[in-house]
Amino acid sequence: MPSRPEPSEVRCVACIGAGVIGGGWAAHFLAQGYDVLAWDPAPDGEVLLRDLVATAWPSLQTLGLAPGASPDRLSFAPTLAAALGAAEFIQESAPERLDLKRELLAALDRAAPPEVVIGSSTSGFAMTEMQPDGPGAARMVVGHPFNPPYLIPLVEVVGGARTDPDTVAWAAAFYRAAGKYALAMARELPGFIANRLQDAMWREALHMVAEGEATVAQIDAAITEGPGLRWPIMGPCLTFHLAGGAGGMAHMLDHFGPALEEPWTRLAAPPLTAELRDRMVDGCEAEAAGRTIADLVRERDAKLVAILKALAAADATKGQEEGR
């Protein structure tokens, strides 16, 4: 079997599935200076992909492009096999259907050179559920991104029961070389890490709307004007560490630990009734206040870029101060 290139030596990536996530991956890889081969079975797949890249590109330019980065390095292949020809890494981003994922990963395994690592963008399935039978399963990992993949750094990396541990290490190193924050997980976990944390908050939000305890706009404002401002700086654990004052997490747990027994949260999902669905939809439309999805995407991206640049500037200042 031919050897794999070093993760930092990869120059060509295949993006299989070119919707919101797959297209976001393509934009990210292009901005990092890769050649990108894309394929999607949708009749308008190429048009939608190029529109997505064009929308993302100004934000990526503001953040800073890698040498040689250009949308012109995107090619849309007419067939799945053609998209894999020169690829040194494959990112699969098909819709979240287990049967489709299994079928597509098996097809990729048959068509791609055996040394090429295949990463799946699944947000919920375990790689063990999706892996095909046979030796090709050893080169498959989950590489779970966050929307939009071209701006959010995190990608959660984890193998399945038949994945070679060296593949996980290689994939994590590749994602880091490609400008991502690769969080290599020790074992499979339903929903991974970040989605489980998001889902706990999401379920509580649905309960509050269903019970008339808070509106959609109030819930969103409670995060964006409150704890959400801290989270780009410190996660929930370190934030609570500071809440303990000089005693840190130990004092925080000793002081607030009894509150964990209080029935503040309801982690079981509420029934998604027609009434609750309508409240959520109407609340989001009211909060959008006439802004289209495209308007909101542009607003989100511009503010994400500003946050990322501010964090980078703060890190640079800290590094200069530590170097004195």
Q: Give the residue, 314 or 102, on which the prediction is more confident.
A: 102
Long-range Cβ contact pairs of 238-242 (< 8 A, separation 24 or more): none
CA distance 3 to 268: 47
Band of residue 207 on the pLDDT scale cut at 50, 70, 90: very high
281 pLDDT above the threshold of 70: yes
Q: How high does pLDDT run on average in the chain?
A: 92
Q: What is the mean pLDDT of residues 218-238?
A: 89
Please report where in the chains the tokens 């640049």 appear, as a residue. Answer: 309
* Beta strands 35-39 and 140-144, pairing class: unpaired
Domains of the chain: 9-184 (3.40.50.720), 194-318 (1.10.1040.10)
1 pLDDT above the threshold of 60: no
Q: Where are the beta strands (DSSP E) in 192-252?
A: none
pTM above 0.85, yes or no: yes
Question: Tell me: the pLDDT tens digits for 78-97?
Answer: 999 999 989 999 999 999 99
Q: What is the mean pLDDT of residues 187-192?
A: 94
Straight-line distance from the first to the last Cα atom of the chain, in angstroms, rounded to the nearest whole number? 50
